[in-house]
């Protein structure tokens, strides 16, 4: 890698651009996932998603020579990261999504940055400054305004699904907080590949048992294409980019980008559902961007120094 390529790879804006791409991909996953869930049970989709992404990530890691072995004393942290960030996270989210509304799940997911920051403070991997706290509050207010009081309904009919999404948010927040040490000690591709390989141990058997009850002839080409998209884009690509950015930014900064998911989801609505965006959506969008900017704004020199000290992917 020459000096120009190294300078580009260490550019302080790249982790933030990666996180924006992650949220765009994550925002498309419930939309495409709903297509697959019309035919496939939740645990079947999770099994296919985890197994497929594990194959894609393993092939990429081997092809680029980035796959490293995990030291024995790091395996407990790897197992915990896989359980929180993948196995329980996916089971809880997909099952919860099938039992509640997309609006409710979007609203509840805004608790992830808060749980990430709190767990990061407990573990000593992050600290709560006035600036970050203010940014989280501003972005959260923007999401609440975007959804609006009249746009969601927490009722007994969706309570089970809502509680599963709450548990999912806690798991993902914990995953972001605890996995930072791993992605700093190894490279991001190594860590996320092993996270998915370990996740296969639990998700594949359950998924196989579930999908065996469905006649394959009932699964259309459109459903398989939806599954393929979910495996590659909002899973393999998104998880890798998220881990890559986590090695270069504080966990609370990575987590606050989650506030962009509902923004992108609502932006896609006019294209997919023919809905229109009013003044509320425009104002809330500005608030979300302002909150993210407040949290992510750091001294340029400090970011460059930290970025140059990290191994590039």
Q: What is the pLDDT of residues 124-180, one digit of tens each?
A: 767 778 887 888 788 778 767 755 654 444 556 677 888 888 888 889 888 988 888
pLDDT of residue 252: 76
pLDDT of residue 261: 79
- The verdict on residue 277 lying in a domain is yes
- The verdict on residue 118 lying in a domain is yes
pLDDT of residue 271: 67
Per the structure, the complete domain to which residue 238 belongs is given by 3-308
Token couple for 1: 């890698």
Q: Which residues contact 230 (CB under 8 A, 6 or more apart)?
A: 29, 32, 33, 36, 45, 48, 49
- The verdict on residue 252 lying in a domain is yes
Residue pair 231/55 in contact (Cβ under 8 Å)? The answer is: no
pTM for the model stands at: 0.74
- The verdict on residue 313 lying in a domain is no
Count of structural domains, the chain: 1
Residues of the chain with pLDDT under 50: 150-153, 273, 275, 299-313
- The verdict on residue 109 lying in a domain is yes
d(CA 24, CA 143) in angstroms, rounded, equals 16
What's the length of the chain? Answer: 313
pLDDT of residue 310: 32
pLDDT of residue 304: 35
pLDDT of residue 44: 93
Count of CB atoms situated within 10 Å of the CB of 115: 19
């Amino acid at each position: 890698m020459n000096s120009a390529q190294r300078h580009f790879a260490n550019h302080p804006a790249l982790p933030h651009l990666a996180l924006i791409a992650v949220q765009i991909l994550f925002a498309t996953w419930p939309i495409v996932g709903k297509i697959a869930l019309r035919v496939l049970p939740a645990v079947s989709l999770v099994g296919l998603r985890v197994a497929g992404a594990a194959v894609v990530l393993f092939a990429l890691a081997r092809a680029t020579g980035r796959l490293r072995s995990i030291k024995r004393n790091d395996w407990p942290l790897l197992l915990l990261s896989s359980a929180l960030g993948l196995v329980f996270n996916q089971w809880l989210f997909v099952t919860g999504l099938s039992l509640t509304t997309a609006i409710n799940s979007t609203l509840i997911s805004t608790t992830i940055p808060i749980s990430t920051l709190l767990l990061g403070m407990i573990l000593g991997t992050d600290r709560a400054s006035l600036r970050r706290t203010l940014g989280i509050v501003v972005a959260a207010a923007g999401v609440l305004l975007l959804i609006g009081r009249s746009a969601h309904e927490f009722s007994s009919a969706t309570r089970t699904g809502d509680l599963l999404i709450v548990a999912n948010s806690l798991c993902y927040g914990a995953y972001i907080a605890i996995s930072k040490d791993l992605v700093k000690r190894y490279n991001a591709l190594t860590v996320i590949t092993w996270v998915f390989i370990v996740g296969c141990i639990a998700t594949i058997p359950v998924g196989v048992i579930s999908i065996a009850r469905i006649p394959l002839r009932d699964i259309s080409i459109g459903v398989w294409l939806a599954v393929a998209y979910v495996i590659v884009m909002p899973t393999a690509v998104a998880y890798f980019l998220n881990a890559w950015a986590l090695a270069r930014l504080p966990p609370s900064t990575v987590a606050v980008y989650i506030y962009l998911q509902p923004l992108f989801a609502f932006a896609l609505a006019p294209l997919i559902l023919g809905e229109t965006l009013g003044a509320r959506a425009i104002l809330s969008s500005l608030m979300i961007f302002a909150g993210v900017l407040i949290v992510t704004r750091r001294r340029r020199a400090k970011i460059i120094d930290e970025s140059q000290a990290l191994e590039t992917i």
